[in-house]
Amino acid sequence: QMGLVESGGGSVQAGGSLKLSCTLSGYARNAYYQAWFRQAPGKEREGVAAFVGGGAGTIYYADSVKGRFTISRDLPRDTLYLQLDALEPEDTAMYYCAARQFYRTGFQPLSNAYDAWGQGTQVTVSS
């Protein structure tokens, strides 16, 4: 069983910053893929950033957030982070962390095919 609980969302003005946290439990702690997604009202859920593999891992970002968002993790604390900088109103969405336990050939880290999801934390950016 995998557990994920997000926190850290809030309301900020454009140009501001937030840091989201995702506490991992069960198999999510050692999942091969760990990622952040977001879903804005009326839009499909999109992958934002992902870790692939253990240790330092390999990091992937969506083009829309490259240079502004940073994914990181604290393995001893079983926590995944997403630092959001230079926020824009278009970043307003519910943000979710997700985990997929096992490696799969050809798996796209920013696709939606993850095994477990958190409940989400809302980020609202005003202009």
pLDDT number for residue 114: 96
∠ Cα 19 21 24 (to 5°): 165
Bigger pLDDT: 82 or 56? Answer: 82
44-63 as b/e: b if 16+ CB within 10 A: eebbbbbbbeeeebeebbbe
Bigger pLDDT: 54 or 21? Answer: 21
Under 8 Å between Cβ of 93 and 82:
no
pLDDT number for residue 94: 98
pLDDT number for residue 90: 96
Work out the average pLDDT over 15-41. 97
pLDDT mean across residues, the chain: 96
pLDDT digits (tens, 9 = 90+) for 37-71: 999 999 999 999 999 998 889 999 999 999 999 99
DSSP strand pairing (18-26 vs 46-52):
unpaired
Bigger pLDDT: 103 or 2? Answer: 103
Tokens 């926590």 — which residue?
Answer: 79
